[in-house]
């Protein structure tokens, strides 16, 4: 991947990364722009996280976008 960010020209890198990530799946870019997806339900006015073992296939797919996004971003940063 030639999208390595070296600390210079962030705006240029950001636009290229957005195009690259969206080309893989728009859901991955959504995961970058929004908070991590954690399935929850409401109970007595409180928001409670659903245990991972009880997630639906759709919830698993959406949560996987977060993991893919983190992998892409960390893979495109150099050690400096």
Domains of the chain, residue spans: 26-75
Quick check: 3 pLDDT over 60?
A: yes
Number of H helices, E strands in the chain: 3, 2
Nearest to 17 by CA among 2, 27, 31, 7: 2
Alpha carbon distance 73, 16 (integer Å): 12
Alpha carbon distance 6, 26 (integer Å): 25
Could you tell me the pTM of the whole model?
0.77
> How confident is residue 63, by pLDDT bands cut at 50, 70 and 90?
very high
pLDDT of residue 36: 85
Alpha carbon distance 73, 2 (integer Å): 13
pLDDT of residue 2: 58
Instruction: Give tens-digit pLDDT for 10-26.
Output: 999 999 999 999 999 99
Q: How many CA atoms lie within 13 A of 36 on its CB side?
A: 10
């Amino acid at each position: 991947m030639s999208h390595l960010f070296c600390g210079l020209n962030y705006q240029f890198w950001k636009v290229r990364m957005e195009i690259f990530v969206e080309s893989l799946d728009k859901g991955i870019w959504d995961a970058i722009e929004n908070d991590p997806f954690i399935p929850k339900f409401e109970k007595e006015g409180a928001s409670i996280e659903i245990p991972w073992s009880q997630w639906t296939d759709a919830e698993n797919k959406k949560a996987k976008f977060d993991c893919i996004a983190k992998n892409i971003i960390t893979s495109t940063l150099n050690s400096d």
